[in-house]
Structure 1
Amino acid sequence: MFPWLTVIIVLPLLAAFAVPFIPEKRVKWFSFGVCLIDFVLMVAAFWLDYDITKPGMQLVERYSWMPQIGLEWSVGADGLSMPLILLTGFITALATLAAWPVTLRPRMFHFLMLAMLTGMTGVFAVQDVVLFFLFFELELVPVYLMLAIWGGKGRLYAATKFILYTAIGSLFIIVVGLAMYFYGDVRTLNMIELAAKNYNSTFQNLCFLGLLIAFAVKLPIFPLHTWLPDAHGEATAPVHMLLAGILLKMGGYALMRMNVGFFPEATRLFAPLLIVLGIVNIIYAALTSFGQRNLKRKIAYSSISHMGFVLIGIGSLSQIGMGGAMLQMISHGLIGASLFFLVGATYDRTHTLILNEMGGIAPKMPKIFAMFTACSLASLALPGMSGFVAELMVFVGMTTTDAYSFQFKALVILFAAFGVILTPIYLLSMLREIFYGKLNHKVVHEEELFDAEPREVFIIASLLVPIFGIGLYPKLTTDMYVATTDRLVDVTRERTARSVPPRLLGGIYNFPVAKDSISLR
């Protein structure tokens, strides 16, 4: 079989080292072309050699690297990783196109974009814990440099905060990975083999908490979220698209792959905690977004709020809820990238991010107004768009799960629904402040306002097509991962069904005993 994933991961990095030899005027075409080719390879791998009906790992490649310690080049894709690999290629290609106006050190910028593509794809594809850690760290360096060099006035503070938060959080990954490596008689770093080990309850609980801290930073989860508004507040549009569209999804993916996949008993114990954290994310970030007068920070807190539904879906321990969490990550990747790109386009024309200084620009920029409105409606989960289906699946999964008592489920639905009500209020008020009313001639110069260029229209149209497509026919996406997410939930429930319900949060559990044995493989 053709080594699809190895080629997909390595190609952008090899191309990045060719960037210094490309003429400066052509480097943007070269970078976009490489990203486009890489995305085409992802689609080809999915279309030709990936079977959506199989829950297990596919496109597997395993090559011995350091046999003395069991380290190997191990890659593969299943329903958790394949949709996010495709999302990574798609968003990165559009982000590279969005980076065309960059004139400060364009070679270095596009070098970092290509290197970052390798790092992000590797996170979703590798099946070795040490390799996962290395790729998880690899994408930090390009983001740090793109923030520190091309960011706004507070770029050094934002970049430093980003690297400190994420790098310190990542240390928990390697510590837990080594602990699992030395546990028991079998020495392995392969994720499938690690998931098959029979860890005791105390070990599972400690490792689960360690990984939760690491991935809580990346998702991000309150209170480890504060780096995100600062990073978004100083980033350029292409970096915005990668942060919102892909990097946040690494945390949700890793929670499913490692926390739920490796530690089923701990997952059951801490699932209510995930749900509570999800509710806090939704309501706290939505309320905070109300008070933000900086447009970038307002959208950043909106992203944090939407990630709360991922936590509730995972914590629901239901097949529909887990599927909803997966769809929410894909949906928000598309919607978040579109909104932040439009924020950048609006700033290029108005030269301000302060909502009090905006207003009345719709007549001068009708296309941007229409696109901004459509993407905002998608973000507030308007029926017919992807966000509505994702959030609905999370609600249905939480409502129908038999893992919790009726009282607990009712409280979760009540608080989550309150967060859903808040979202359209702050998003629609944001649109009103930006586009309606009178033009602020003291800050915004009318002669500098111009409508969307064909490149900008193409980027937003490319994002809106899957947003509407998923909203109108969700099976286009859900069929890609449903076999894997269903099996993940089944395994978690089967492994914990015969244990005594935890008493830490007594009264909220209602877990049935499973009758059939389900294999991880």
Structure 2
Amino acid sequence: MAESYFLLAATFIPLLMAPVAYVIGRRAGAAAVTWFSFGALAVSTGLLFIPTMLLHGGTTSYVETYKWGQFGDFGLRLDGLALPFALIIYILCTVLAIYSKPYMIHKIMEDMPGHGKTEGSSSSSPSSSHESHGHGGTSIVQLSPEAKQHVNSQMGLYFALYLAFSMGMLGTVLATNVIEFYVFFELMLVPSFFLVAFYGYGARRRIALMFFFWTHVGAVVLLLSLLAMGFFAGGYDFDTIKANAGNIPQQWLALIVFGLVAGLGVKLAAFLLHIWLPYAHAEAPTPVSALLSPAMIGIGAYALLRLWMELLTGSYEQYSLYINMWGLATMIYGGAMALMQDDIKKVLAYSSISQMGYILFGLGSESILGISGATMLYITHGLGKAVLFMMAGSIILQTGTRSMSKLGGLAGKMPYTAVIAFIGALTIMGVPPTSGFMAEWTMFNGVLQTAAHDGDWFRAAMFGFGIVATILTSAYILWMLKRVFFGKIPEEMAHVKEASPYITVTMMVFAALSLTIGIMPDLFLNPITGYIQGMFAGHENVLPLPAHSAAAIEPVALGQESDDGVPVQEGVSAQTTAAGNHNGGGT
């Protein structure tokens, strides 16, 4: 096959277009830069779908490799594990680019002197929101030329940072080298820091610094473990580390695993390492919150799977129970804190902590089903939480407040938002026919499978407490919806109406995806399960799929190599693999 650069182009088009977006924003205005950024991300997403189609359902791998020097090869790899993370990240980024237009114009105008109070202000009123959003007050077309130029420049800067942020997230997921992974990991952090610092609410610069400090310290701890892995394995490529993991001394292995789990636990905002998240997610502008929470923090779960559970598979059984317990504590803590909040975005921020607990709970299950369900939960959380954060943004735009004690009865005024929000809520609660049901059912089934197989009363008890945590999830979600959409509507909300199509249509896209995946979960579940099954092939302590499930899944055999030395999975032809194998751009 001819040379192909699908993954390279999909990853770097947003970064290359970032400065162009800034110039377009300054010269052509907010609408032009919005659709330009959407187009760049849509093209990149389309390029990502091309190798996805070549994966034959995700049970094979597509690799592009380029010579990089002493650190090994710079590679981009799409397989059954990277597939769900990569697609959800870019779908979220693409659709949220459109959502960003009305919200960020409102936010930038709101920050201008004389244009109302901020979202973070407890005294913000509906009238201030409408003054800055254009409902009967000052609109962008009525601004002075200087003010309009300021809005356009800020929109250009916003989308430039947004595109760079998107690139960092995708590159982290596709990386095939630990140094490359760390570079993308940090490139993901820098633009997100500036998005919070420039466009956030409240004490945004202090909150952005706290966000940067916590996540950067976690990244440095992670880097120390990655360097140690590469040093003892004799190389930094994933395949080199996996092949030589046995060379890592046992006394160092424990420290390396601790560094990996602690560093990535900060990114996941797991219990005790979560301090930064409620502030950063609540005070970030809502489109950024809808990326930080559904997409970015879940990359920590991907990294646990890829860097620890795949590369250092032999150490997994030693520590899985502790991950299981940590996940349970995170589930319950996040859910309990969410139940106590009055601020919609803080409810959703603490909900994200709880949802990361679900993922950790499944990753520690020592079961193919449990680990696969935990991976599927990333998709569920991405879609459901994006809908709910977008719902919060819609309410903020239309009412000027995010305090639930000041809201009520909005279902009659914003029916489309209410219906879509309920689909997002059902997704997070794990209710059919949304994608959340199959993800949670698979994850909990795996946890129970391990407890029953081993006759382990402690794991059985944790399974029971995990079910209790789902009740807690339902409680805070339904309590939030009840306070926002039902009851008597406040008199000052009588004028409220549905948000613009930019808001409602983009919300509908994610709700529709959740329902589609809920009805056809095998679109993602089969590639995930096949890959996880191959990852733990030969590990007797990790329970395999039940016989009736295994018959439908083709295991992925890891570690095979084609004639040119590129790792491939069982069933990949040498020709297919060579299509993605480049050395500095040549075959």
TM-score normalised by L of structure 1: 0.90
Letter in 2 for 1:141: V
SS in 2 for 1:293: coil
Counterpart check, 1:24 vs 2:29: yes
Deviations 1:197-239 (A, max 9, x none): 1133322211111010111011121111121111111111210
Of residues 260, 264, 267, the one that matches 1:211 is: 260
5+ residue gaps, structure 2, are: 109-153, 544-556, 561-587
Return closer, same or farther for 1:21/1:288 CA change in 2, 3 Å cut-off. Answer: closer
Q: How does 1:7-22 map to 2 (within 5 A)?
A: 7-22=9-24
Deviations 1:478-508 (A, max 9, x none): 1222211111233554799xxxxxxxxxxxx
8 Å contact 1:98–1:237 — kept in the other structure? no
Deviations 1:328-369 (A, max 9, x none): 011111111111011011111111111111112222212112
Per the alignment, residue 86 of structure 1 pairs with 87
In 1, the alpha carbon distance for the partners of 2:220 and 2:369 equals: 32
8 Å contact 2:71–2:179 — kept in the other structure? no
Once the two structures are TM-superposed, the CA of residue 3 in structure 1 deviates from its matched residue by 1.6
Q: How does 1:78-117 map to 2 (within 5 A)?
A: 78-101=79-102, 102-103=104-105, 104=108, 105-117=154-166
Per the alignment, residue 63 of structure 1 pairs with 66
Q: How does 1:37-436 map to 2 (within 5 A)?
A: 37-47=43-53, 49-52=54-57, 54=59, 58-66=61-69, 69-101=70-102, 102-103=104-105, 104=108, 105-183=154-232, 187-197=234-244, 198=246, 199-401=248-450, 404-436=454-486
In 1, the alpha carbon distance for the partners of 2:440 and 2:510 equals: 19
In 2, the alpha carbon distance for the partners of 1:181 and 1:306 equals: 32
8 Å contact 1:52–1:483 — kept in the other structure? no
In 1, the alpha carbon distance for the partners of 2:9 and 2:558 equals: 31
Aligned-pair RMSD on alpha carbons?
Answer: 1.9
5+ residue gaps, structure 1, are: 497-517
Per the alignment, residue 518 of structure 2 pairs with 471
In 1, the alpha carbon distance for the partners of 2:306 and 2:17 equals: 30
In 1, the alpha carbon distance for the partners of 2:185 and 2:73 equals: 17
In 1, the alpha carbon distance for the partners of 2:378 and 2:49 equals: 19
8 Å contact 2:535–2:558 — kept in the other structure? no
SS in 1 for 2:217: helix
Per the alignment, residue 501 of structure 1 pairs with none
In 1, the alpha carbon distance for the partners of 2:558 and 2:83 equals: 21
Counterpart check, 1:486 vs 2:533: yes
Deviations 1:81-102 (A, max 9, x none): 1121111110000111111122
8 Å contact 1:317–1:489 — kept in the other structure? no
In 1, the alpha carbon distance for the partners of 2:302 and 2:236 equals: 18
Return closer, same or farther for 1:492/1:294 CA change in 2, 3 Å cut-off. Answer: farther
In 2, the alpha carbon distance for the partners of 1:173 and 1:346 equals: 38
Once the two structures are TM-superposed, the CA of residue 60 in structure 1 deviates from its matched residue by 1.4
In 1, the alpha carbon distance for the partners of 2:179 and 2:58 equals: 29
Deviations 1:153-194 (A, max 9, x none): 12122211110011000012221121122215xx31101111
Deviations 1:445-502 (A, max 9, x none): 432x111322222212211122112222211211222211111233554799xxxxxx
8 Å contact 2:380–2:427 — kept in the other structure? no
Letter in 1 for 2:65: R
Deviations 1:43-91 (A, max 9, x none): 12211x2233635xx221222122xx23331221211111211111100
Once the two structures are TM-superposed, the CA of residue 31 in structure 1 deviates from its matched residue by 0.5
The alignment-based identity, stated in percent, is 29
In 1, the alpha carbon distance for the partners of 2:293 and 2:204 equals: 17
Which structure has the larger Rg? 2
Deviations 1:122-142 (A, max 9, x none): 000011111100100001111
Letter in 2 for 1:59: Y
8 Å contact 1:201–1:265 — kept in the other structure? no
In 1, the alpha carbon distance for the partners of 2:501 and 2:231 equals: 56
- Which has the higher relative contact order, 1 or 2, with Cα contacts under 8 A spaced 6 or more apart? 2
In 2, the alpha carbon distance for the partners of 1:391 and 1:494 equals: 22
Letter in 2 for 1:149: F
8 Å contact 2:18–2:161 — kept in the other structure? yes
Return closer, same or farther for 1:493/1:156 CA change in 2, 3 Å cut-off. Answer: farther
